[in-house]
Amino acid sequence: MRLFSKYCQLGVLLLITGPFALAETGTVSPKAASAMQVEDKAVIVDVREDDEWNAHHIPGAIHIPLGQLNERLAELEPYKNRPVIAQCQSGRRSEKAQLALMSAGFSKVYSMAGGIQAWDEQGLATE
């Protein structure tokens, strides 16, 4: 009976962590994110609010505010097996977006360290 209990616990743990265990995750610097985007090796998803996006944003980024991410996952479906870099203002919301994308089955999800603030500090282009 005790052995069965341990296997049940292991099964539950695998069900909970399964999508995360298979995912390639972490943080990337703004310069690395820029290089990956330019080389068409990743897509950047800006999870800031509309007013922040309208003030300035990374050229070529996809804008989906964090609060809308779960409802708009279908828009990111073509990138499910490609690197996706979540980006916000400072890095906090992008970490939440990273977790949401991982739990939705995206296999290569990164958070951009320092957000667009760090992007600006490194002199990278915005529009």
Tokens describing residue 96? 């939440």
- Predicted confidence at residue 82, as pLDDT, reads 94
Token pair recorded at residue 33 = 């994110």
Q: Catalytic residue, from 28, 33, 69, 88: name it.
A: 88
DSSP notation for 49-109: -HHHHHH---TT-EE--GGGTGGGGGGGGGGTTSEEEEE-SSSHHHHHHHHHHHHTT-SEE
8 has catalytic annotation: no
pLDDT confidence of residue 19: 42
Res 23: pLDDT = 52
Task: Confirm or reject CATH 3.40.250.10 for domain 24-121, answering yes or no.
Answer: yes
Closest C-alpha among 118, 94, 8 to residue 46: 94
pLDDT for res 21 = 40
pLDDT score for 78: 95
Which tokens is 122 given? 């490194």
Q: CB burial class (10 A; 0-12, 13-18, 19+) of residue 62?
A: middle
Blockwise average pLDDT, block size 10, the chain, 127 residues: 46 42 76 96 97 98 98 96 96 95 95 97 97
Task: List the chain domain ranges.
Answer: 24-121
Residue 6: predicted pLDDT: 45
